[in-house]
Amino acid sequence: MGLDENLLRAKLTYILNLTTMNEQTKILTELKDLLEKSMLTREALEELTGNLATRDEVAELSSLINDFIDEMKHTYEELLIPADQVNRMEDWIIEASSKIGLPYEPFTSGSEK
């Protein structure tokens, strides 16, 4: 029991000792009403937590997200291979065109013909 709880109990005991039965009933009724407004019932708590995901659902979702990320990494790596092959091929074409005397202008994005 914390210090705040002890102080509340002492104050409540003190107030109840100094008051009449009717005043005590009124104080206790007000306290009960305040507690009912301030505290959640078991049903309200279950209703609030009923929409939360379970640990298993979170673990499954996390696993799916990780699988998706791995697949995206794999796809990105696969896209790098053809891009590198195209760059090497273009370098070869540039070198070959200068050796055989055919003009070649590498494609650059945004160039107009």
Global pTM reads 0.43
Query: Looking at the domain assignment, is residue 10 inside a domain?
Result: yes
- The phi, psi pair for 17, rounded to 5°, reads -75, -25
Percentage of the residues of the chain whose pLDDT score is greater than 70: 89
For the residues 64-77, what does the mean pLDDT come to? 94
pLDDT of residue 109: 67
Query: Looking at the domain assignment, is residue 83 inside a domain?
Result: yes
Does residue 59 share a domain with residue 20? Answer: no
Residue 62 belongs to what domain range? 54-103
CA separation for the pair 61, 45 (Å, rounded): 25
- The token pair that represents 39 in the structure block: 């505290």
Does residue 97 share a domain with residue 68? Answer: yes
How many domains does the chain fold into? 2
